[in-house]
Structure 1
Amino acid sequence: MIAPTVVLIAAFLLYPIGSVFYYSLQNYNVTQPYDDGFAGLANFRHMFTADPLFWQSLRTTVIWVVAQVVLQLLLGLLLALIVNERFKARGFVRALVFSPWAVSGVLATGIWVLLYNPTTGAAHALSLMGIGSGDTAVLSQPTSAFIAVIVAELWRGVPFFAILILADLQSVPADLYEAANTDGAGRWQRFRYVTLPHLRGAIVLTCLLRAVWEFNNVDLIYTMTGGGPANETTTLPLYVARQALTDFNFGYGSALTVVSFLILLVFSVVFLRVTKYNAGRD
């Protein structure tokens, strides 16, 4: 009964994963076929000891993921709390808040590239917030390109947290708030002792999912900056794409992918253990 499912999983999941691990131990460069062959751990040795761009891209990835998850969580929680209240035009405000989540990465890139263009006039407004100088393209400056890309992804990613947290907010029993009001709890106390504990499971899960997705984020960064200027916005997945799809160095690209996979695996296990996700659900 489960044979068709097992075959599909093996064909579309297990085989590609196995291929990546296999090629990570090979010299496989389409532009240099004369060097192809078994390399053992040479790709990994080169990665950790002779490739400064690997460490730079890993550092950029860590900063990117931490900044995105923390800021998206805080802003998403704030928006969810706001749109959970009763006020006029609440449906319209909810649609406005959630709409960026429906925008594709390429379309979001087009919107923000226009906003960052100094000739459109929006760059001046951004310069008032400390992003760029208003007369130069922020995406071409090493000091501002990374911040500009972070802001663009925040606009697209915040609704993810807002949607899931709002859904969990609406399941908080009203009796708990009534009991808190009876005990004289203020707004902050109700949030701290009633709302936040109820949201714990949703927050842990959304943070984990978003961390994994942001770690693997390629489309928006690639289409906005291509990893530049001076590799300031080159994350590890973008470096993998460059090695495999631009330089055709599939062996080294596979080795980078294996390391990325192990990083995410270890992070996910440690994160779930530290946050005690199952205990939070119980």
Structure 2
Amino acid sequence: MATVTEGRRAQAAPRRGLRHRWTPYLLIAPSVLLMIVFLLYPILSVFYYSLQHYNVTEPWNNGFAGLENYRTMLFEDPLFWRSLGFTAQWVGWEVILQLLFGLLLALIVNETFRWRGLARATVFAPWVVSGVLTTVLWTLLYSPTTGFLRFLSDLGIGSPGTAVLADPDTVFGAAVLAELWRGVPFFAILLLADLQTISKDLYEAASVDGAGRRRRFLHITLPHLKNAIILSTLLRAIWEFNNVDLLYTLTGGGPANATTTLPLYVAQQAVDSYEFGYGAALTTASFGLLLICSLVYLRLSRFGGDRA
């Protein structure tokens, strides 16, 4: 009888092992399916349409185009290269300035002082404002008749009636300042959260050894913030690259396409001109460019490595 029982157990053991082996995959299967439906399928759809002539206003011209959209984009569309160059300039200035001001604010509100809670709330408040509301606010501030510039001109600073959003020489700085106001809190929040994980014993030990504020910042604070800085700059660069709402509502890409980023150009082609095939090709190029730049940045920055 014992022999029969042992035989049954021996036969059931492989089945139990197989069941336990597949259990983790069954548990994550719903999430994988959702990712395929909501992530992979749209990406493949965009790539498919990038190989098509697809304009709802010209159905007789729709059909397979091969690489024609990409050839047009690379060799016949100067606005693509212009928008790409402006996008790089926009992302570079925004990420660098937001990081510097965000780090400064994080260091300030990390200190202990009276009304620190109110100061933190004030610093973080712009982050909850949408791009459209930010545009409304800064449009009023930039108004040549009722805004802050009118107030300055009344004081004798600047010329009256200056429209900074209509001047190609000033529109970039005006747009950068508006987005800077909204983006700085992002860095301040992330860096402050990481600053609060640094043990105060490190600073006390460094002070005992004679290290001043500058040396403590360079040798303790910055190394500890390395991964947070890398991650926050990468995320913010991707978001600023894909920024459409603020620029679209603040400048519309103008004047004379002076503030047209690549995603905004995609919106103009696909939404305004109904060139969905060409817009899909532009989107595919943007995706590939972002993917390559992100991988290179993470590799060069050694994200996740030692802090020291």
CA-CA distance at 1:3 after TM superposition:
3.4
For residue 250 of structure 1, report the CA deviation from its aligned partner. Answer: 0.4
Partner in structure 1 of residue 194 of structure 2? 168
Does 1:54 pair with 2:53? no
Matched, 1:191 2:184: no
Selected match of 1:225 from 205, 226, 251: 251
Aligned to 2:270: 244
Offset at 1:127?
7.7
> Does the CA-based 8 Å contact 1:69-1:210 persist in structure 2?
yes
Which one of 81, 93, 96 corresponds to residue 70 of structure 1? 96
Alignment match, 2:290: 264
Which secondary structure state, in structure 1, belongs to the residue aligned with residue 165 of structure 2?
Answer: helix
Name stretches of at least 5 consecutive residues in structure 1 with no aligned partner.
none
* Corresponding letter in the other structure for 1:76: G
- Matched positions, count: 280
Secondary structure of 1:184's match?
coil
Specify the code of the residue in structure 2 equivalent to 1:160. F
Taking the aligned partners of 1:217 and 1:127, their CA distance within structure 2 comes to 32
Q: Give the RMSD, CA atoms, in angstroms.
A: 1.7
Structure 1 stretch displaced more, 145-154 or 6-15: 6-15
Q: 2:125 aligns with which of 77, 99, 118?
A: 99
Equivalents in 2 of 1:126, 1:34: separation in Å? 57
**TM superposition outliers: structure 1 runs of 4+ over 3 Å:** 124-128, 131-134
Is 1:36–2:79 an aligned residue pair? Answer: no
Aligned to 2:261: 235
Can you give the 5+ residue segments of structure 2 that lack an aligned partner in the other structure? 1-25
Partner of 2:11: none
Distance, in Å, in 2 between the alignment partners of 1:127 and 1:183 is 54
**Max radius of gyration: which structure?**
2
TM-score w.r.t. the length of structure 1 is 0.95
Contact 2:224–2:307 (CA under 8 A) maintained in structure 1: no
Shift of 1:217: 0.5
Distance 1:247 1:114 in 2: 30
Q: Distance in 2 between matches of 1:74 and 1:141?
A: 27
What corresponds to 1:255 in structure 2?
281
What is the DSSP-based 3-state SS (H/G/I as helix, E as strand, rest coil) of the residue aligned with 2:256?
coil
Which one-letter code corresponds to 1:37 in the other structure? G
Q: For 1:264, give the aligned amino acid.
A: L
1:161-213 C-alpha deviation (Å, 9 max, x unpaired): 00110111111111110111011011101100111110111000000000000
Instruction: Give the Cα separation in 2 of the matches to 1:67 and 1:75.
Output: 12
**Equivalent residue, structure 2, for 1:14:** 40
**Normalised TM-score (structure 2):** 0.87
- Contact preservation (8 Å) 1:20, 1:254: yes
Tell whether the 8 Å contact from 1:138 to 1:144 is kept in structure 2 after alignment: yes
SS of alignment partner, residue 274 of structure 2:
coil
Counterpart Cα distance in 1 of 2:152 and 2:235 = 30
